[in-house]
Structure 1
């Protein structure tokens, strides 16, 4: 990848002027943190506007019937979002967080208009390429900015709030888009939400959000090595290539988190394209399909308000292992069911399992990555995680075409069980609780 030999260092860059010196902590940065939570809710809403509607649009307006072909828009979204995550991490370390956030929202402007006007499926795929860039740049950047603000002691809580806002908005917007589609048709009403979200996000990001790189510099100057020496090989001055290799393959906690993240979004990508079609086999109305689809990210989003903070108290590893196992069980319930009740129970359980894992994996990255290359580590992790969208869409489409919808869900259940085993064997506990360490716990030396 271009630029992997670069060594941008937080400590060597000019500090952005602010009205007061930066301080770490959730309470100390409550106003900015709340604004970032609101912006990330708008990021999630951009996905929610289309999740219920596009699979039905593919069948009803474009006459698409092959599952693999229908899932192309999910694959296009996942691949471009994964690539955008890399650039979000690299550019946020090099140029600052706020410019990346603003550029990400500029890519969102054409998306709802393209979906409204699309004369063929190619327009839908192209819109999801732009949406993937928007999501990768904006969501990754809000993650890094929140980690910057809160410091090491509250990372789990910060990620829980961030992901709860994002996926809660996915759920609410999916439900609202389903209602609008049933009342007013598949186009244009559901996609008017995206126009409003983009305008509000540009206002908040451009006028009210402040740069947070100074907070990362502050933490970098305060961190101390772990007493057990487990991170002695991870120092501040790593190249982009070294960061990529450590996060992807060689560092046990980072690489275990990366594979678990990929499987999480494999499940999400498969559900995005497949669940509405599976639920439609029972001749459920659009609004009820929208409710079923909203249950998964709804429980996922709300649950993270608890699980993120819980990981700060009990640690990361066992919560992740339990969450991956719960997802496997939930997918088995969905595959074995054939009506609203069973599918509702399965999607609620799937949301609960994902809530255990999603913010906790991000907290693991924050625990292990040095503040000087945190943005890039988050970016690499999210490259692998969001490739799961494409893997889930393609795998789900192929298996559904060859064997059936239920078989595709069973396959995802098996993959989730294997992922849980990998975390149990490979990941070590990354969180040092504040009661046992100094205020800089969780940073690497």
Structure 2
């Protein structure tokens, strides 16, 4: 793989930075595990332990998580440029330490909301920073592959932890045992981030000297944070199309996280069965990204994103139409494939277009929009479910997802340098 070198010894490329890259993959798996501890158990806690009577109230933890993570993403990009990547990563893990205990022993729903605010900060700081650090290390040639590995590690860990906590809850109850995994993850990740991870900001500075932007990109890198926000959100067709698609993608994830388990439980599935379904989607999504990120490096980004959004829409429609474990399992697999096509490819689009001098801020803005989808999805799905029922709410999100895919097809230009 392509590498470059200066007198300082900085080299770009996956092979040249394999040890640090692999370490960051492991750290991001622990980031995903922190999220996975909630996927099966928390929707059931809302109903069975705290006796919340409406879907909107039950989804407040996703709303709190998504809003906090979205805003934190923005600052993570800015702070990683100002202070360095590693301090931001360590700060994110320090904030995570009390979260498992609050989930396991919190005496009221307010404690669960507070834990998810802290979890949102943790995820915004740590996941954003591991993304930025991997982009720094690999250079322009293998961004799709790098994002595939990053997101695969995170979401395979989400799936594995969702399945594990479901199995633990089936035998030991909804609290506290399932959340002890999260406590172990936080301690291990803090140790790795403090003592083993190295700073990568100089890699981005080295790449900036040799940067060649694609059509629509900025070449001199001299943009304010406000200009980066406007360019990523509205002005650049590829960046803005990626931002809206990312938001809708995570809106879908909020639906899968908060509404799907309620639908499955309403049809009589056991906690263990719900745990399997909750794990299938992120497992396929996570593992598939190792292929789709690499694939986007060879055939381009736009068509994979369009196809993935439309496949997600079809899968969500199948969940709404289904009534059995087999149908829902098929839908979860299709939803995972569609999301795998989209997730690392959207991040690669940001890396393609953004100048290295403002790329971390562009990633932060994109992730602000993308993870804002958690909050929008929780609110929209909850309101629709309370007003019309679970199934109509799911159909509405399916239609919105299809519209997002069509918008990508119309607005986005191809960003990969080879294409």
Task: For residue 162 of structure 1, give the secondary structure of its aligned residue in structure 2.
Answer: helix
Identify if the C-alpha distance between structure 1 residues 119 and 306 changes in structure 2 by more than 3 Å, giving closer, same or farther.
same
Identify if the C-alpha distance between structure 1 residues 232 and 116 changes in structure 2 by more than 3 Å, giving closer, same or farther.
closer
- Aligned residues of 2:145 and 2:297 also touching (Cα < 8 A): yes
Equivalence for 2:399: 414
Task: For residue 259 of structure 2, give the secondary structure of its aligned residue in structure 1.
Answer: helix
Q: Does 1:67 align with 2:67?
A: no
Q: Does 1:426 align with 2:405?
A: no
In structure 1, how many angstroms separate the alpha carbons of the residues matched to 2:229 and 2:184? 37
- Aligned residues of 2:213 and 2:354 also touching (Cα < 8 A): no
- Partner of residue 284 from structure 1, selected from 259, 269, 275: 269
- Partner of residue 75 from structure 2, selected from 62, 77, 87: 87
- Aligned residues of 2:211 and 2:219 also touching (Cα < 8 A): no
Deviations 1:355-383 (A, max 9, x none): 00000000000000000011100000000
- Partner of residue 338 from structure 2, selected from 344, 353, 369: 353
Aligned runs of 1:231-242 on 2, under 5 Å? 231=216, 233=218, 235-242=220-227
Q: Does 1:397 align with 2:382?
A: yes
- Partner of residue 188 from structure 1, selected from 163, 176, 186: 176
- Aligned residues of 2:213 and 2:352 also touching (Cα < 8 A): no
RMSD value, Cα: 1.3
In structure 2, how many angstroms separate the alpha carbons of the residues matched to 1:225 and 1:142? 23
Deviations 1:165-199 (A, max 9, x none): 00000000000000010111111111000110001
Equivalence for 2:351: 366
Q: Does 1:126 align with 2:111?
A: no
Q: Does 1:197 align with 2:185?
A: yes
- Aligned residues of 2:315 and 2:332 also touching (Cα < 8 A): yes
- Post-superposition offset of 1:65: 2.2
In structure 2, how many angstroms separate the alpha carbons of the residues matched to 1:75 and 1:394? 7
- Post-superposition offset of 1:225: 4.7
Deviations 1:133-173 (A, max 9, x none): 00000000000000000000000000000000000000000
Deviations 1:402-437 (A, max 9, x none): 11111111011101110011100100000012xx8x
- Aligned residues of 2:32 and 2:155 also touching (Cα < 8 A): yes
Q: Does 1:47 align with 2:32?
A: no
Equivalence for 1:112: 100
Equivalence for 2:3: none
Equivalence for 2:65: 77
Equivalence for 1:7: none
Aligned runs of 1:5-404 on 2, under 5 Å? 21-226=9-214, 230-231=215-216, 233=218, 235-404=220-389
In structure 1, how many angstroms separate the alpha carbons of the residues matched to 2:197 and 2:89? 10
In structure 2, how many angstroms separate the alpha carbons of the residues matched to 1:299 and 1:223? 34
Deviations 1:65-94 (A, max 9, x none): 200000000000000000100110000011
- Post-superposition offset of 1:22: 1.2
Q: How many pairs are equivalent?
A: 414
In structure 2, how many angstroms separate the alpha carbons of the residues matched to 1:402 and 1:151? 49
In structure 2, how many angstroms separate the alpha carbons of the residues matched to 1:232 and 1:27? 27
Task: For residue 169 of structure 1, give the secondary structure of its aligned residue in structure 2.
Answer: helix
- Post-superposition offset of 1:58: 1.0
- Post-superposition offset of 1:231: 3.1
Deviations 1:6-30 (A, max 9, x none): xxxxxxxxxxxx9962100000000
Show structure 1 runs of 5+ residues with no match: 1-17, 437-445
Task: For residue 276 of structure 1, give the secondary structure of its aligned residue in structure 2.
Answer: helix
TM-score normalized by the length of structure 1? 0.92
Task: For residue 152 of structure 1, give the secondary structure of its aligned residue in structure 2.
Answer: coil
Identify if the C-alpha distance between structure 1 residues 385 and 193 changes in structure 2 by more than 3 Å, giving closer, same or farther.
same
- Post-superposition offset of 1:224: 2.9
In structure 1, how many angstroms separate the alpha carbons of the residues matched to 2:53 and 2:32? 28
In structure 2, how many angstroms separate the alpha carbons of the residues matched to 1:305 and 1:425? 27
- Aligned residues of 2:296 and 2:345 also touching (Cα < 8 A): yes
In structure 1, how many angstroms separate the alpha carbons of the residues matched to 2:342 and 2:52? 34
Task: For residue 115 of structure 1, give the secondary structure of its aligned residue in structure 2.
Answer: helix
